[in-house]
Amino acid sequence: MTRTTASRRLSRRHVGVMAVAALALAGVAPGVAEAAGELPGGLTPETAVAVGLDTSFPGSNQAATSVSAYPNLPYWSSTVWYSFTTSVPGIVTVQTSDVTYDSTLELWTSARTIVAYDDDGAGYPASRIRTGLSAGTYLLGLAGFSGQRGTATVSVTFTPMVPTAPTALQVTPATRWRPSPGRRRPSRGT
């Protein structure tokens, strides 16, 4: 192995290690916040904590503020923010369970348009949103009815809507065109 090949491998490894360390220091490395027992959301949509699809995490809105600086955002008070990105259209289901307060959920596009919201859709005090989404980034607000705060397990599941090929195709032979009795075939330009 040449010195340049070895230094490239070392350099790539070093960049990878530094990237993981930076993410861990920023608090966005998967598992870091979960090891502490909860994954507090961001206090604003701009600081939303990224979560994956098809995952569950211990969420908390205990650090949330009651007043929002955004008109009509959030829908409920005491909201903390998470985000996720879909690369294809599909159906997302977000649900809270093991809640210690009357939780609410709200789903927004990254352009701040409300997609769906719910209070008690999974049975009091839990919430549930199920809706179709286009590919894109979405903001998920975990809040409390009347400003309540607490913890909840938040589950996000995503089912892609990938078109499927038709399975029952039939091919029929074409028939040759024949003029009706008494009709002549059109002439070709003369």
Indicate if the pLDDT at residue 144 is higher than 80. Answer: yes
Among 72-76, 90-94, 106-110, 112-116, the minimum mean pLDDT is found in 72-76
Q: Is 175 exposed, middle or buried (0-12, 13-18, 19+ CB in 10 A)?
A: exposed
H or E element, residue 98:
none
Residue 63's pLDDT is what?
Answer: 87
Indicate if the pLDDT at residue 16 is higher than 70. Answer: no
Residues 113 and 137 both lie in one domain? yes
Residue 37's pLDDT is what?
Answer: 55
Between residues 181 and 124, which one has the greater pLDDT?
124
Residue 12's pLDDT is what?
Answer: 43
Residues 143 and 56 both lie in one domain? yes
Residues 22 and 107 both lie in one domain? no
Residues 50 and 143 both lie in one domain? yes
Give the count of domains, the chain: 2
Indicate if the pLDDT at residue 187 is higher than 70. Answer: no
Indicate if the pLDDT at residue 143 is higher than 60. Answer: yes
118: CATH: 2.60.120.380
The pLDDT tens digits of the residues spanning 157-179 come to: 999 997 777 777 777 777 776 66
- Determine the average pLDDT of the residues in 98-109: 94
Residues 84 and 60 both lie in one domain? yes
The pLDDT tens digits of the residues spanning 17-68 come to: 343 333 333 333 343 344 445 678 888 888 999 999 999 999 999 988 765 5
In a domain, 115, yes or no: yes
Residues 89 and 57 both lie in one domain? yes
Residues 77 and 107 both lie in one domain? yes
Instruction: Report pTM.
Output: 0.66
In a domain, 136, yes or no: yes
The pLDDT tens digits of the residues spanning 60-98 come to: 999 887 655 555 656 678 889 999 999 999 999 999 999
**What's the alpha-carbon Rg for the chain, to the nearest Å?**
27
Q: Is 37 exposed, middle or buried (0-12, 13-18, 19+ CB in 10 A)?
A: exposed
Q: Are 146 and 103 in contact (CB under 8 A)?
A: no
Residues 13 and 43 both lie in one domain? no
Residues 22 and 57 both lie in one domain? no
Q: Are 36 and 17 in contact (CB under 8 A)?
A: no
Residues 68 and 118 both lie in one domain? yes
**Domain with 16 in it:** 1-30
Q: Which of 134, 132, 85, 125 is nearest to 105 (CA)?
A: 125
In a domain, 121, yes or no: yes
Q: How many CB atoms lie within 10 A of CB 121?
A: 18
- Determine the average pLDDT of the residues in 100-117: 93
Residues 63 and 141 both lie in one domain? yes
Residue 20's pLDDT is what?
Answer: 36
Between residues 51 and 189, which one has the greater pLDDT?
51
In a domain, 123, yes or no: yes
Residues 15 and 102 both lie in one domain? no
In a domain, 113, yes or no: yes
In a domain, 190, yes or no: no
- Overall size of the chain counted in residues: 190
